[in-house]
């Protein structure tokens, strides 16, 4: 019998039905990007209200598409961290309600670990442990050493902005639409990535596995509006815009790549699992695949719909259910940062 | 110095920060003179160095600066200060994504700001009507690729020791 997974960690209201063999029977995502575009980002009040409006229809839709009757569910899983408290609580309340009615196990999971588990769903037995995991999204940029699906040791990550946040802020500086990742990628398509040499701080440090994108954002700001330039300095357009976007994108990709390379060298792992919305970026995917070929490492990148936020990756809950674990109705949300997310279970 | 209307007059100091390294001494002045309950309203353009400024303050107060990452996505990060520190914690908020004061309720803003501690709020102008009167305003301006100018303004007497220390800092490095 399958499980129902619910995800309300941030932008997306999502639900999915996954069976014990890790087959995704249905996966429904109601993106809130349209709502957030007006405010250039995630607005907590708005996010939790939108989750409330969408959670029941999204769950109903996931069940309908899977052809599984609610009574046939074996368990309910829900992402309990990291994220905004208000948003997390919407998913948790819905999950508790269903688990209480069905009298079935209720299992919480870590959104970050689940992002990497998407590789297990997409690539099955190729996902072996130990492996190196890269999560790059709007709110997270971290490298992990995974001993099992649930045991993540954080190797490093951003010391300031997340990769997706860097794209969002760059897009804002260039007058492009939110979310920044896709609009930067579109703008970069016809640009010359060698037109501007943007900084890659920490990239040459062969000890630390941390990355920094704050200086890169500031460097872009100076290209767009040099110190002392008037506030109404016109924004770049046409080829100038394409070159800035392409050069910025290359700097982000190379910064991440340098640390992935270091993590693979240090851990000697033969598998790299990748997750998070930023890995939908074609330049990053291609660069990671080239690195894999060079290092003879199996690079596992899920299809786009499993990279961006979704509930199918909640299939990670099977790992806990198979151990006989059940959080029960005492389950609570655990908001927090990227760092705290990876600590403990 | 009371103003003519009876309200205390605002004090202001402007400090030039030549580069990121020069931020350290300034942050140490702040860390040693801020009262245990202090609200820092931090503003300036994207890329002016708001998060870097908070990172430096955190480091000066004994927090691992690597822990202090941009709160743009998470909105609020709470960093405990070292054991025995009178301020107990540093609340680092980024209000860039907020539409207005109505969003603060969902953030648990009252709980975050009422308890003793330091609150460093980036993009504070997003919630101007909700800002406490006894705050310290810090405005960062880009002078050149490396240099910044920081203006400190407050009408709260609790920041007196800070302003005196800033004035000494200013005299020590003319220009």
Please list every residue in chain B whose beta carbon sits closer than 8 Å to the beta carbon of residue A161.
51, 69-70, 72
Q: Are A47 and A306 in contact (CB under 8 A)?
A: no
The second-level CATH assignment, the architecture, of A124-305 is 2-Layer Sandwich (3.30)
Tokens of B74: 């998470």
- Does residue A39 have a pLDDT over 60? no
CA distance B140 to chain A (A): 13
* Helix segments in chain A, DSSP class H: 33-37, 44-66, 85-102, 111-123, 163-173, 180-188, 214-224, 238-267, 282-295, 304-307, 317-321, 338-342
Averaged pLDDT of chain A: 91
- Does residue A47 have a pLDDT over 80? no
Residues A145 and A292: their CA atoms lie apart, in Å, by 16
Mutation for testing the B interface, residue in A172, A214, A226, A232 having most B CBs under 10 Å: A214
Q: What is the CATH number of domain B20-137?
A: 3.40.50.300
Residues B150 and B138: their CA atoms lie apart, in Å, by 6
pLDDT (average), residues B114-138? 94
Q: Which residue of B has its CA nearest to A42?
A: B97
Amino acid A136: pLDDT: 96
- Does residue B175 have a pLDDT over 90? no
Pairing of strands A141-148, A151-157: antiparallel
Count of Cβ atoms closer than 10 Å to residue B151 Cβ: 15
Q: Is B132 exposed, middle or buried (0-12, 13-18, 19+ CB in 10 A)?
A: middle
Residue A235 per-residue DSSP state: P
Q: What is the CATH number of domain A3-115+309-340?
A: 3.30.420.40
For chain B, how far is it from start to end, CA to CA, in angstroms? 27
For chain A, give every domain's residue range: 3-115+309-340, 124-305
Please list every residue in chain A whose beta carbon sits closer than 8 Å to the beta carbon of residue B72.
41, 161, 165, 168-169
CA distance B164 to chain A (A): 30
Give A114's contacts (C-beta < 8 A, 6+ positions apart): A79, A313, A314, A316
Instruction: Check if A233 contacts B (Cβ < 8 Å).
Output: no
pLDDT band, residue A36 (cuts 50/70/90): low
Tokens of B20: 């990121």
Question: Which of A299-313, B103-117, B151-165 comes out lowest in average pLDDT?
Answer: B103-117
pLDDT (average), residues A303-318? 94
Tokens of A111: 């959104």
- Does residue B99 have a pLDDT over 80? no
Predicted TM-score (pTM) of the model is 0.87
pLDDT band, residue A43 (cuts 50/70/90): low
What are the phi and psi torsion angles at A331 (to 5°)?
-50, 135
- Does residue B171 have a pLDDT over 80? no
Amino acid B75: pLDDT: 81
Mutation for testing the A interface, residue in B16, B19, B23, B47 having most A CBs under 10 Å: B47
Please list every residue in chain B whose beta carbon sits closer than 8 Å to the beta carbon of residue A39.
97, 99
CA distance B161 to chain A (A): 30
Which residues 77-116 of A have a C-beta within 8 angstroms of B? Answer: 82, 84-86
Contact (CB<8Å) A84/B72: no
Residues B64 and A292: their CA atoms lie apart, in Å, by 34
Do A3-115+309-340 and A124-305 come out as alike in CATH topology? yes
Contact (CB<8Å) A227/B74: no
Contact (CB<8Å) B73/A42: yes
Percent of chain A with pLDDT over 70: 92
- What tens digit of pLDDT does each residue of A209-249 get? 999 999 999 999 999 988 888 888 899 999 999 999 999 99
Mutation for testing the A interface, residue in B51, B54, B70 having most A CBs under 10 Å: B70
Which residues 237-296 of A have a C-beta within 8 angstroms of B? Answer: none
Contact (CB<8Å) B73/A139: yes
Count of Cβ atoms closer than 10 Å to residue A328 Cβ: 11
Instruction: Check if A124 contacts B (Cβ < 8 Å).
Output: no
- What tens digit of pLDDT does each residue of A80-122 get? 998 777 789 999 999 999 999 999 999 999 999 999 999 999 9
Give me the residue from A45, A84, A172 closest to B46, CB to CB. A172
């Amino acid at each position: 019998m399958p499980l129902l997974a619910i995800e309300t960690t941030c932008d997306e209201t999502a639900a999915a039905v996954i069976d014990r063999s890790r087959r995704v029977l249905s996966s429904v995502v109601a993106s809130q990007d349209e709502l957030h575009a007006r405010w250039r980002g995630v607005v907590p009040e708005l996010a939790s209200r939108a989750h409330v409006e969408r959670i029941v229809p999204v769950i109903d839709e996931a069940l309908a598409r899977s052809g599984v009757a609610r009574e046939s569910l074996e368990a309910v899983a829900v992402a309990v961290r990291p994220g905004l408290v208000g948003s997390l609580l919407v998913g948790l309340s819905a999950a508790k309600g269903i688990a209480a009615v069905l009298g079935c196990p209720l299992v919480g999971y870590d959104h970050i670990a689940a992002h990497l588990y998407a590789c297990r769903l997409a690539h099955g037995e190729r996902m072996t442990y130990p492996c190196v995991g890269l999560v790059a999204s709007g709110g997270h940029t971290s490298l992990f050493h995974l001993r099992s699906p649930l045991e993540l040791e954080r190797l490093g990550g951003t010391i300031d902005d997340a990769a997706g946040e860097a794209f969002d802020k760059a897009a804002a500086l260039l007058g492009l639409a939110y979310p920044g990742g896709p609009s930067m990628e579109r703008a970069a398509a016809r640009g010359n990535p060698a037109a501007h040499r943007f900084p890659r701080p920490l990239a040459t440090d062969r000890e630390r596995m941390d990355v920094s994108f704050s200086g890169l954002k500031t460097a872009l700001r100076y290209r767009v509006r040099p110190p002392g330039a008037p506030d109404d300095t016109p924004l770049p357009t046409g080829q100038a815009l394409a070159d800035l976007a392409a050069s910025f994108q290359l700097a982000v990709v190379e910064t991440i790549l340098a640390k992935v390379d270091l993590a693979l060298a240090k851990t000697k792992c033969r598998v790299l699992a990748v997750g998070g919305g930023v890995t939908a970026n074609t330049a990053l995917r291609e660069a990671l695949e080239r690195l894999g070929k060079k290092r003879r490492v199996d690079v596992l990148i899920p299809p786009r719909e499993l990279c961006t936020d979704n509930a199918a990756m909640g299939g990670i809950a099977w790992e806990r259910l198979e151990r006989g674990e059940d959080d029960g109705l005492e389950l609570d949300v655990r908001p927090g940062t990227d760092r705290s997310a990876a600590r403990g279970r | 110095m009371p103003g003519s209307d009876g309200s205390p007059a605002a004090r202001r100091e402007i400090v030039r920060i030549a580069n990121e390294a020069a931020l350290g001494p300034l942050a140490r002045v702040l860390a040693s003179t801020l009262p245990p309950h202090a609200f820092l309203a931090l503003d300036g353009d994207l890329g002016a160095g708001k998060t870097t400024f908070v990172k430096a303050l955190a480091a000066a107060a004994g927090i691992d600066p690597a822990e202090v990452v941009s709160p743009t996505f998470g909105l609020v990060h709470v960093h405990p200060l070292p054991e025995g520190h009178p301020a107990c914690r540093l609340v680092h908020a980024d209000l860039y994504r907020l539409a207005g004061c109505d969003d603060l309720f969902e953030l648990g803003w009252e709980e975050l700001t009422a308890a003793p501690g330091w609150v460093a709020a980036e993009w504070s102008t997003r919630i101007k009507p909700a800002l406490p009167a006894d705050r310290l305003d810090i405005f960062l301006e880009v002078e050149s690729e490396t240099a910044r100018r920081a203006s400190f303004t407050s009408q709260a007497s609790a920041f007196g020791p800070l302003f005196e220390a800033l004035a000494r800092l200013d005299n020590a490095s003319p220009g």
